[in-house]
Amino acid sequence: MYKNKNGTWCSDFIMDGVRFQRRYPNSTETEALKLEKEWKEAIRKGVWETNVSSARGGMKLSEALSFLHDRYWKYLDDTTHYRVCLNRVIKAIGDKEVSTLTTADLYELKDKMLNKGVNGKIYSPHSFNSSLVALGTAFRILEGLEVVKFKSKPNFKGLQVRQVVGKRPALRDDELLRAKEFLYNRTKKSKALSSVELYELFIVLSNLGLRPAEYFAIELGDISFEYDTITISKAVKTHKGTGTIIGAPKNGQSRTLPCGENVMEVFRNIRHRLEIARSVSKVEALKLLREIKGNDVLRMTYYWVSQGAYDNCKDLPLDKCPITHLNHDTANRMWWAVRNHLGYLGTSNTHGLYVLRHTVASRLVKLKGFNAYKLMAFMGYSDIKSSLHYIHLNVDDIRDGVGISV
């Protein structure tokens, strides 16, 4: 157990030749140690209950996937990644016996995923590389546990494909204004809380460049109304299945960002709604709704409370209340109307919600002195290469931070 430079307690240990790592955001040392102990016990139980000898020799890829998921991968923050990657492999080359796989099978996997297609689908280089890495990880674990002994061990060297990442799309200034006007008018016409929350999401994302998954995990306590800052320390890790899994941001580190007046106005409005929602019952809100005249904002807040929109916050401390009811699916579905309004028709998702993050990165790098390293820290990238993916200047401009002020 150790504390990283951001103050987060982390586990990093080896068991049965396999390395396990996990972070415990917002946990004290005592809480983190308890969670680590429970995790180790769960892993040991999974390993001890495994009849390894019965699995030797005839384990197929699907059986290996189930074995590894039950014993190891289900304890990771992202429980779906390895399962998705290995399922791609099975679809491409079949559910073969692991010990019989050879380098030729890996080349067959590459040819089918990138050229011939799997059930009519051609995969991207990124998807192929991810599947290849997942397969290699699976082989190392199975060999380390002596579950599988290869007849001719596959060689992964030189198989990964070079990934060429083009410039990311960004909205022009006039498109941002049109999108803002469209969403604002929509909030005036609709009584739906979701319309207001989408407008608020737009204001925050178009100013701070957060990942949508980070925005959906924000609690009121993450915002400093005294210093006009917000701390990003969490992100939604999955958007499907039962319940929402909250984990660390994509790069595993928290960051604190300054907020402009327009963003703080959004946060103050959200805090005001939450304070009202926690102070009155649904019956009281309905009564006040009928009595109050003229104040549309207050009336709408009472209306939403009376309809049970804030029932999820009744038993939570104010600083633990989420700032939005939106999630990945609802927000992207509603954003589709904005996208069409701007003229980006069709099924391509190049101008989905993430375009707001690309737009902020593109604008920031044009500020004199705002170089790639500062962009990496502000946007929460894990390495400087990501800064180069999102911006529309050449490498020298990025390194020197030159550009006109906006």
388 pLDDT exceeds 70?
A: no
> What pLDDT does 88 receive?
94
Tokens of 184: 């604002």
Segment 289-294 mean pLDDT: 82
> What pLDDT does 166 receive?
58
Burial of 296 (0-12, 13-18, 19+ CB in 10 A): exposed
Lowest mean pLDDT among 37-41, 50-54, 111-115, 157-161: 50-54
Segment 347-362 mean pLDDT: 83
> What pLDDT does 53 receive?
39
> What pLDDT does 16 receive?
66
> What pLDDT does 387 receive?
62
186 pLDDT exceeds 60?
A: yes
400 pLDDT exceeds 60?
A: no
Q: In what order do the strands lie in the sheet with 223-224?
A: 223-224, 229-232, 255-258
**Rounded percentage of the chain residues whose pLDDT exceeds 90:** 41
Lowest mean pLDDT among 171-185, 230-244, 379-393: 379-393
Question: From residue 186, how far is each of 140, 180, 195, 337, 349 by CA, in Å?
Answer: 54, 10, 7, 11, 22
Do 390 and 361 contact (CB within 8 A), yes or no? Answer: yes
Segment 149-167 mean pLDDT: 81
Segment 374-395 mean pLDDT: 65
**Rounded percentage of the chain residues whose pLDDT exceeds 70:** 83
pLDDT in tens, 38-73: 878 777 665 544 444 344 447 889 988 988 888 777
pLDDT in tens, 68-92: 888 777 777 667 888 899 999 999 9
> What pLDDT does 268 receive?
96
> What pLDDT does 395 receive?
42
> What pLDDT does 51 receive?
44
Tokens of 315: 């038993």
> What pLDDT does 26 receive?
72
Burial of 208 (0-12, 13-18, 19+ CB in 10 A): buried
**Pairing state of beta strands 246-247 and 18-24?**
unpaired
Segment 102-123 mean pLDDT: 92
Q: CA nearest 324: which of 362, 270, 366, 272?
A: 270
> What pLDDT does 187 receive?
92
Q: Check residues 353 and 16 and name the one with the higher pLDDT.
A: 353
Q: What is the mean pLDDT of the chain?
A: 83
Domain ranges of the chain: 2-144, 174-341, 365-400
Segment 283-299 mean pLDDT: 85
Do 393 and 403 contact (CB within 8 A), yes or no? Answer: yes
Taking the C-alpha atoms of residue 222 and residue 25, their distance in angstroms, rounded to an integer, is 13
291 pLDDT exceeds 70?
A: yes
- Phi and psi for 229 in degrees, rounded to 5? -135, 165
Q: Check residues 363 and 6 and name the one with the higher pLDDT.
A: 363
Q: Check residues 279 and 395 and name the one with the higher pLDDT.
A: 279
> What pLDDT does 164 receive?
63
| H/E segment holding residue 348 | none
Any idea of the CA torsion for 304, 306, 307, 312, to the nearest 10 degrees?
Answer: 80
Segment 254-264 mean pLDDT: 93
Indicate the CATH number of 174-341 among 2.40.128, 1.10.287, 1.10.443, 2.60.40: 1.10.443
Q: Check residues 100 and 403 and name the one with the higher pLDDT.
A: 100
> What pLDDT does 35 receive?
83
> What pLDDT does 368 receive?
64
Residue appearing with tokens 């080349």: 107
> What pLDDT does 366 receive?
75
> What pLDDT does 390 receive?
54
Q: Check residues 70 and 102 and name the one with the higher pLDDT.
A: 102
